[in-house]
Amino acid sequence: MADKDYRAAYIGKWHLGEEGPARRGFDEWASTDDHGDYTNFLISNAVTPDKQDGRFSEVAISSLPIQLSRPKFLEKRACEFIEKHRGDPFILVVGFVEPHSPYNGPLNDEHPIDQVELDATAALPENEDIPLRYRLMREWQQAEALLDRDRLPTQLFFGITPEEYRSIKQRYLGLVTLVDRSIGAILGCLERCGLTDNTIVVHTSDHGDSLGAHHLFGKETMFEEAARVPLLIRLPGQTRAKTVPRSVSHIDFVPTLLDLLGQSNHPQCAGESLLPLITERVAPPRNIFVEWAPNRTKIKKGTKLARRRTIKRAVEESTRTVITPDGWKLCLRDKDLNELYNLSNDPLETRNLYADRHHASVISRLADEIHRWQESANDKLEV
């Protein structure tokens, strides 16, 4: 921010280095990380750490009542900041951890189980025409689900049967509601302080969760359930809701916020402002690019899905994906199976069309788009 009058606070989950938000321009920080402010909060409320190093496990945190939950802690700290700086311009980031595994919380039964709908692909046969890395993830998660039944019968991390998928999703929705209530309380605090009419509110997420879709859990795939996230923006004086019926890139978030605040974009920001879309000015359709770099993929011991060398290669794959305005999605990989989906006709991504020679021209066109984007971003990966 060029305007230094703003007070900036970061409250919650932080995954950008141990130096913390202070090195990134934030004046105040309340942490939910290990040995941070939330840990101290629990200890001050007579909660004993369940780990020998003085930390709380995720299972222990997920079993706490609402008043001691992370969302309630973040809500309280956020409202304290708002009330303290109600007379100052401020930027407040609240990073909720939930909803997240172990899919357990104080509102597990908030949503009736018979009203929880499964994703359609959770009830379809397992698709084998997907990258080997995805199949290795699926195999490991299913093996873990069998162990979970014995270790944590009320707190499944993964599932195998539709009934288990439904139970896990019920708990996940309870966590969503838990966060929703705290967001509502923070918005209520803005209203009580008379700040609603001059505050921009943005709600988004860093990733989705498959929750049994494609027989997978978590993130780390290019499937829509994991890679697509919500982006809601409430502007001062806004009188009606509007839905933008097209995909945008998360990398445009910061340039958009700076534009809304009347600030110039920082040269480090690769994205573009979405303000023309928000204000209904003409904005040309754009491709969306998503990339994946190798991470830690857990493998079931003794897996027979492929030879060891093939598995090692697959788990080290990198992906470059393009989603086009006309509904195509191409995933090119350096060390695993490529994918092509028509999201207009196959929004559930059940039919990988990459090997279909009738789509050779589409693949060529989209691959050229990826390669041009890589060149503009100085991305040297060969896909």
Q: According to the model, what pLDDT value does residue 17 have?
A: 79
Give me the residues paired with residue 28 across strands.
Answer: 9
Averaged pLDDT in 10-residue chunks for the chain of 383 residues = 88 85 88 91 96 92 97 98 96 96 94 95 95 97 84 71 93 97 98 96 95 95 96 90 88 93 88 88 87 93 95 96 97 97 97 97 98 95 96
Q: Which of 224, 219, 216, 250 is nearest to 343 (CA)?
A: 224
The torsion angle over the Cα atoms of residues 93, 94, 99 and 100, rounded to 10 degrees, is 80
Cite the beta strand spans of the chain per DSSP E.
7-12, 28-31, 90-95, 201-204, 231-234, 288-292, 319-323, 328-333, 339-342
Tokens at 339, concatenated: 């994918």
Q: Which two tokens stand for residue 6?
A: 């703003």
Q: State which amino acid sits at residue 132.
A: L
- Running DSSP on this structure, what letter comes out for residue 241? -
Q: CA 82 to CA 233: how far, in whole Å? A: 19
The pLDDT value recorded for residue 152 is: 60
User: Among 310, 296, 299, which residue's Cα sits nearest to residue 137?
Assistant: 299
| Per-residue model confidence (pLDDT) at position 2 | 74
State residue 71's pLDDT score. 98
Q: How far apart are CA 305 and CA 170, in angstroms?
A: 31
Structure tokens at 201: 């509110």
- The conformation of residue 26, written as its DSSP 8-state character, comes to -
Q: Taking a C-beta distance cutoff of 8 angstroms, is the pair 290, 222 a contact?
A: yes
H-helix or E-strand containing 168?
helix 162-192
Cβ proximity of 52 and 58 under 8 Å? no
Q: What is the pLDDT of residue 21?
A: 86
261 in Cβ contact with 294 (< 8 Å): no
In angstroms, the CA 317 to CA 306 distance is 15
* Cα–Cα distance measured from residue 284 to residue 246, given in angstroms and rounded to the nearest whole number: 11
Asked if 211 contacts 172 with a C-beta cutoff of 8 angstroms, the reply is yes
